[in-house]
Amino acid sequence: MPPGMGFLYGGEMFIEINGESKEIDREISIIEFLLELGADPKVVVIELNQSILDQCQWNNTVLKENDKIEIISFVGGG
């Protein structure tokens, strides 16, 4: 089966998140993925395939096979 086609045939696909491979079993938007991870969308920045992804794009951007995501969290302190 060609790379990236497993999902179309009912299989899983792999993405890389913060340098680690993760298997996902369905198409999912960035915002859905963040919420499933328990991340607070108000305090993170998403880099997708080496480009910062504007927050207004999170609902319409669907993860694809071999996507590389970096989730950067802001931490406040004092």
Question: What pLDDT was estimated at residue 78?
Answer: 64
Beta bridge partners of 14: 23
Q: Which comes out higher in pLDDT, residue 67 or 4? A: 67
Question: What pLDDT was estimated at residue 7?
Answer: 42
Between CA 78 and CA 24 the distance in angstroms is: 38
68-73 and 13-17: which strand pairing? parallel
pLDDT digit string, tens, across residues 6-38: 444 456 899 999 999 999 988 899 999 999 999
Give the DSSP H or E segment for 14.
strand 13-17
pLDDT digit string, tens, across residues 46-64: 999 999 999 999 999 999 9
Specify the fold of 6-73. Ubiquitin-like (UB roll) (3.10.20)
Question: What pLDDT was estimated at residue 65?
Answer: 93
Structural domain spans, the chain: 6-73
